[in-house]
Chain A
């Protein structure tokens, strides 16, 4: 069972991510034994929401947007990386490709995976698997959703 916290101020993006991850039973395998894992998505509508939720449960992965009101994604990433309790959690940024500076800062602060918006369901799943397996990567923006599109590993 992998628990994922999705921090995003857009409810539709949260719903999209939930649909992409929860509708893929057994998609996520972790570790060498390749046991299929269930995914549970928990939604946070703001940085503050995330701060409220983090101490209340264990998460394997936090997926966060950068541009959010009040507490931005960068501040959240730093908070997680500096806290005793959540330091080990995998961190993934979903943000627009164009905000180069934000991306660079996010990675410098210790995010493991960067996924550019807009992304396809496949790209998202791949990025999540990467992050849950403790690796880091950056995924470039993909064409709008189409069947069978695969994200490009590495990025601009």
Chain B
């Protein structure tokens, strides 16, 4: 294997994946079109082309299963686009099933596994039956000028004949494009012409041989008059000419050179081409004859299309996109992380210089340089992050397909409303989101939306609605799946929880509605005693929660009986770099993701009270449960000031700053979804002024520690640490196998002094602390959803 052919193989997988995703989108559009009764032939042709390309790729790269499936599908689609088979719901079903299978086949191929796929064989049989063997006798159509026919593909010819048979007029549009801006020009022309009819083909004429522009003859079928078309296309510099429709004596096409030797039988089953009657034998049924003048003729409008600016923003020219392997971006991101560390070290040196009264001139220069350095790193990081972003639409398309399939299986009618598909998230997050979202979609259809009859009984519209929304909120992305179904049966949730010993009857009485709903995330609690074929509500919700938590996200549930359920998932936009608060416990350093930090305050050890067997303090009138990290990790507790280490003067005694006793607050943005505030993780803000970095342990107060208030969803927990080191951007690296099983660490990161700090997984830690917690009524910091 050479590198070039490995690259080609990589390209095969990424392109195939892309095509399959596009195929899914097209099918959804086809599904809609079929319901509305007007199917755009272009759309069917797009689907055909996608499968055709897949077939070609599979053949080249030896992916046999994909070859076989594509081959059968292509036959069916060819019949569809040539109008030999009607697009019906059963046919659509077959197509949807095929898309799902493509995905599976690709996965198996990529992993190089050998495993039987009975569902593929089944589908192939269906496809084979489904294609009702087209008669192959294309109805003899009108006579068309052979010089035009000579450059039409079979499909284009079919479209041309169909349009003529339907009595549409034919037009030749002549236009000159600058080669540099041809993509935009063409997109604009297509968008403008689309409402008036169908463009059959584009012919470069070669007129006015000029290296910078090209003249095109465009063949278009339209019901509109020449005047209307001229008016509509005038601003694009298009010259419109109606092609005469007059009976003429058909000319014969020169017979193509026929091969003399028969091909050796190939192991590839190639279908025999449908017998087409030769043109010359055809009867002129419609009296239509199309002449298509070509070459440098008159009407040479040398108007060129100016580069457009306005509403075609979303149609990005393919030629301008680059596909990048996400791992390459990871590597770049690591460099940025390393650079950030260098930057922090530089800052420390600067701080020292300032304090050591060195050459002021030099210090100032260095400081300026450092600021520039910082600005560039920020830009670099933002740039790379942007490259990693992909629209959530990729997942939503899959969800829409699943929703369609499930609702058909469950015999429920569901209307799926999607907003915010263009919201962008880190590619890796999108990958990890598929399964959890899929599961929630299943739940919504299976357990949320009631049957038609039931809905009518309770006076709801017969068709259920599921809303899938996404939007950005600060550094987070929020995804909501909301259904107008029956809602959660909280009584049964509680019953189940008591029966399984998760909670005691006494506890059940004091639980808030939100806490009860959260029982749905407890493994194995289902409100359905008979788990249906799809999924038991609650079964798997614990897995969903775990998966979301792994991404640094939180999941929240709101439900009203009889009205519906809303699941809200809030995720960080990126996983690549997080801002963290570096803290010290004993002589160890830990990083706490700033996204989970509300504030950090002094802790007077004497003020800790024990409430219901738990350590707690009162913070601004609310009770806050606290957890001594030193005890949790079995580190020796420090009662005197932390020794000098790590960052030199940071921990040394410092001049007293009165504002230090006020809670340290990160730059804030209010977040309704969280009911808490979180700091903007980007861009990096140097930890100066009121930041904790300058409030290191004070020698004078040995009994004083810090509480870092972490918030996850609506739960708050105070983590007791010895000192605060400062804020930092960290690149989290996965832990080795030995620490893999400790759930409260998200990974490790390297600090500027080359020491390693473990990154706390705040959601997991909070979960851990509350898992067996007495159900004390805690005051939550945030508004409740309903």
Contacts and interface: CB of A to CB of B under 8 A. Distances in A.
Nearest to B10: A15
B648 interface: no
A100 B15 contact: no
A118 B57 CA distance: 8
B628 interface: no
Contact of B11 (A12, A74, A140): A12
B4 interface: yes
A19 interface: yes
Contacts of A52: 179-180, 182
Contacts of B153: 66-67, 72, 74, 99, 101-102, 105
A75 B147 CA distance: 11
Interface in B1-38: 2, 4-5, 7-8, 11-12, 15-16
B63 to A, nearest CB: 9
A14 to B, nearest CB: 8
A96 B211 contact: no
B319 A45 contact: yes
B144 to A, nearest CB: 13
A12 B5 contact: no
A109 B254 CA distance: 10
Interface stretch (B48-56, B528-536, B630-638): B48-56
Contact of A152 (B16, B179, B203, B264): B264
A107 B12 CA distance: 29
B15 A78 contact: no
B510 interface: no
A52 B209 CA distance: 12
Contact of A72 (B56, B62, B156, B179): B156
Given A19-B7, A22-B4, A83 B203 contact: no
A101 B276 contact: yes
Interface stretch (A29-37, A127-135, A142-150): A142-150
Nearest to B256: A104
B182 A98 contact: no
B61 A75 contact: no
Interface string B255-299: 011111111101110110100100000000000000000010000
Given A9-B53, A12-B8, A23-B4, A109 B151 contact: yes
A104 to B, nearest CB: 4
B268 A10 contact: no
B510 to A, nearest CB: 61
Interface in A100-137: 100-105, 107-109, 117-119
A71 B204 contact: yes
Contact of A78 (B4, B150, B273): B150
Nearest to A94: B56
Nearest to A84: B209
Interface string A76-105: 101100111100000000001111111111
Contact of A83 (B16, B55, B209): B209
Interface in A24-50: 45-49
B204 A79 contact: yes
A18 interface: yes
B7 A141 contact: no
A19 B3 CA distance: 8
Nearest to A44: B319
Contacts of B232: none
B209 A119 contact: no
Interface string B38-74: 0000000000010011011111111010010000000
A67 B56 CA distance: 11
Contact of A144 (B53, B59, B319): B59
Contact of B57 (A12, A45, A48): A12
B4 A18 contact: yes
A140 B664 CA distance: 75
B206 interface: yes
Contacts of B201: 72, 75
B261 A141 contact: no
B257 A96 contact: no
Nearest to A73: B153
A143 B211 contact: no
B183 interface: yes
Nearest to A82: B206
B605 to A, nearest CB: 64
A48 B5 contact: no
A84 B209 CA distance: 8
Given A74-B151, A101-B273, A109-B150, A11 B11 contact: yes
Contacts of A66: 153
Interface string B193-222: 000000001111110010100100000000
Residue with the highest number of chain A CB atoms closer than 10 Å, among B153, B253, B264, B271: B153
Nearest to A142: B266
B259 A156 contact: yes
Nearest to A52: B179
24 contacts: A15-B4, A15-B8, A16-B12, A49-B319, A51-B179, A51-B182, A67-B52, A67-B153, A71-B203, A72-B151, A74-B153, A75-B201, A101-B154, A102-B154, A104-B258, A105-B152, A109-B150, A118-B67, A119-B60, A140-B266, A141-B263, A145-B60, A145-B62, A154-B259
Q: Which 5 A-B pairs have the closest CB atoms?
A: A118-B59, A104-B256, A154-B261, A140-B263, A55-B211
Interface of B: 2, 4-5, 7-8, 11-12, 15-16, 49, 52-53, 55-62, 64, 67, 149-157, 179-180, 182-183, 186, 201-206, 209, 211, 214, 253-254, 256-264, 266-268, 270-271, 273, 276, 295, 318-319, 323
Given A10-B56, A101-B273, A144-B267, 9 more contacts: A15-B11, A19-B2, A51-B179, A71-B202, A82-B206, A98-B271, A101-B157, A118-B58, A141-B59
